[in-house]
Amino acid sequence: MSDAAGIIERPSPVASRGRAPSRRRAGAVGGHHRNIGGVWPVLVLFLPPALVLFTLFVILPMGEAAWYSLFDWSGYGAPEDFVGLKNFETLWRNGAFRTALTNNGLIILVSLALQLPLALWLATLVSHRIPGTTAFRLVFFLPYVLADVAAGLIWRFIYDGDYGLVASLASLVGIATPYVLADRDYAIYAVLAVVVWKYFGFHMMLFIAGLQSIDKSLYEAADLDGATPWQKFRTITLPLLSPTIRLSVFFSVIGSLQLFDMIMPLTGGGPSNSTQTMVTFLYTYGVTRMKVGFGSAIGVVLFLICVTLAFSYRRIFMRHD
């Protein structure tokens, strides 16, 4: 649990500017507070609302998912039909689920191998002191603010074989109109393009913030030594940006794993399950059919993947900190 905290928790900017020691001392005078005002009123009034809400709607459901996953249950009455690990077995033998797993892996891969370099490249471009960069930043960030559902619907139109942009581009080039989203082999790549379109701006903003915190005098020193732009990028920018890169990787992975809203308007997981992700699979086979046991098993697998990734992320990246 403390590992989970360690991944996310970073010193706040204020603290890193030298107030950290005073914070420690503020903690140390805790006993001092107790003499003056009672701590019980504040504990009894302030903590329970958050504690109850969080336990009731986050922690307990997660535990229940583990329990329900051992049953064959329609959600009505009490779960009685104990089936052990059968749900997990069925899940593993389900071809659509394996496609979903592969697709989630593919989304992570594209996020890391394509979207991240793209975002970093654009961040360096708009960090130049030239006119208009603020406007470009805003435009690039805009898709991130739009809802996934809206983005999905917009691109469903763009990809439409009869009316969309892709259709007219194809006729312009003189090839047969492709029905991209109806093609089992290509639909997932169309989805991936939308993912990058929607999220690169967010990562770009992260990188811009990261670039701004790099000490400019380092570049001056490198200039004096006659370093090429590429050398400066490799020896100054990249290493000093590594905390931001880690953060970006973290958000990419977590975001990729929960991709759902965008898939539904685009393909709904089809054609023939070729664009399912774990969450759309959960929705299609668990929620709409009210198979609580089976659906919970999917949730448990997703949970285990998230936890495993979080811990290995920590092992890989946080070792040197």
Tell me which amino acid residue 141 is: F
Quote the least distance from Cβ 280 to another protein, whole Å: 9
Residue 7 CB burial class (10 angstroms; 0-12, 13-18, ≥19): middle
Quote the least distance from Cβ 287 to another protein, whole Å: 6
Cα 297–chain centre separation: 22
Return the number of the residue (30 or 84) whose C-beta is nearest another protein. Answer: 30
Return the number of the residue (8 or 175) whose C-beta is nearest another protein. Answer: 8
Secondary structure of 204-253 in HEC code, one letter for each residue: HHHHHHHHHCCCHHHHHHHHHCCCCHHHHHHHHHHHHCHHHHHHHHHHHH
Return the number of the residue (185 or 241) whose C-beta is nearest another protein. Answer: 241
DSSP structural state of residue 177: P
Quote the least distance from Cβ 46 to another protein, whole Å: 4
Three-state DSSP class for residue 82: strand
Beta-bridge mates of residue 82: 71
Whether residue 204 contacts residue 123, with contact meaning beta carbons closer than 8 Å, is answered with yes
Find where tokens 């739009």 sit: 146
Quote the least distance from Cβ 215 to another protein, whole Å: 8
Return the number of the residue (12 or 242) whose C-beta is nearest another protein. Answer: 12
Return the number of the residue (185 or 201) whose C-beta is nearest another protein. Answer: 201
Quote the least distance from Cβ 217 to another protein, whole Å: 7
Return the number of the residue (109 or 307) whose C-beta is nearest another protein. Answer: 307
Return the number of the residue (9 or 185) whose C-beta is nearest another protein. Answer: 9
Q: Which residue in 146, 112, 107, 150 sits closest to 256, CA to CA?
A: 107
Quote the least distance from Cβ 193 to another protein, whole Å: 10
Quote the least distance from Cβ 223 to another protein, whole Å: 8
CA distance linking residue 251 with residue 265, whole number of Å? 23
Give CA separation, 268 vs 149, 171, 254, 260, in Å: 11, 27, 21, 9
Q: Is the peptide bond before 243 cis (omega within 30 degrees of 0)?
A: no
**Is the CA virtual torsion 300, 304, 307, 309 positive or negative?**
negative
Cα 265–chain centre separation: 19
Return the number of the residue (187 or 285) whose C-beta is nearest another protein. Answer: 285
Quote the least distance from Cβ 203 to another protein, whole Å: 10
Tokens of 230: 């590429």
